[in-house]
Amino acid sequence: MVMVILFVIVLYKCQYHDCKSYRTLISKSDKNHVFIYDNSPDPQSVTDLNVTYIHDPTNRGISHAYNVAADYARRQNYDWLLLMDQDTTFSEGIMDDYLGHIFSHPEVRLFVPPVRVDSLFYMSPVKLFWKFGFLSKCIPSGQVISLYDYSPINSGMCISVDAFFECGGYNENVFLDYSDYQFIERFRKRYSNCYVLETCVYQDFSVVVDNRDKSMKRLVMFCKSLKHFERNSILDSLGIDLVVIKRSLSLMVKYKSLRPLDIFFKFYIN
């Protein structure tokens, strides 16, 4: 049985052929169709025959982009979505790892790679402690794990198209930060586990921002995104609140400014 996988990549101010995902995976897998959702202000010309390109200068976020891609995949009879962003470096041979385990674990509907940020730490899948995720030196790989114990990030997820729609897809109001954790909370209500590959991918760690103005703009986006995270209990709500409070307080201390507090009340509380 042939499993048809749609590659999905979301771009922002990055040329398709220059991005790491293209150079390390897509360019070496020319049999797979690629769905590009470009949130950049200006469009780019992509003439590759195996590409569907959508330009959205309104930049409605990655959750919307993934939902649009999934709808396309369902209409075109794809079995799986492989999500990636522009900053992911895929290791040689990872497609063999995906395909091999899709066939050997037909009951599993989500496959994810271990995601490294450097030679020491992993950022996915990670244990969440009251909605907080932390880098880890050791994660499980080559096995099925519970999504109630671990949560993976978006890039590298290979998801069954049918399962994607069964769980309701991405919450488009959680448009950027925590979009992956929100999706996993939806997904695990239907499918409680996933398989972690042995082959790693490498991800740029975008949390590190040293510019004050950029940090403040990033906090605005963070607050707007997490404000709409679905809360199933008082503890859920408190956990998300603490995540945003911690981010805001850390920026107040770092920049010795009350502006993060103003952003917190204006874009998260109001």
Please report, for the chain, the start and end positions of each structural domain, with discontinuous segments joined by +: 5-203, 212-269
For the residues 13-32, what does the mean pLDDT come to? 93
68 by Cβ neighbours in 10 Å (0-12 / 13-18 / 19+) ranks as: buried
Tens digits of residue pLDDT in 116-169: 999 899 999 999 888 998 999 999 999 999 999 999 999 999 999 999 999 999
pLDDT at 29: 83
Question: Looking at the predicted structure, is the pLDDT value of residue 186 above 80?
Answer: yes
Question: Looking at the predicted structure, is the pLDDT value of residue 210 above 90?
Answer: no
Tokens of 209: 């921002």
Tell me how long the chain is.
270
- pTM of the entire structure? 0.95
C-alpha to C-alpha distance for 188 and 140, rounded to whole angstroms: 18
| Structural fold of domain 5-203 | Spore Coat Polysaccharide Biosynthesis Protein SpsA; Chain A (3.90.550)
Tens digits of residue pLDDT in 51-110: 999 999 999 999 999 999 999 999 999 999 999 999 999 999 999 999 999 999 999 999
Q: For residue 2, what pLDDT band results from cuts at 50, 70 and 90?
A: low
Tokens of 107: 């009951």
C-alpha to C-alpha distance for 191 and 62, rounded to whole angstroms: 22
List, in order, residues 6 or more apart from 214 with CB less than 8 Å away.
none
Segments in the chain forming alpha helices (H): 20-24, 62-75, 94-104, 161-166, 179-187, 212-226, 234-255, 259-264
pLDDT at 78: 97
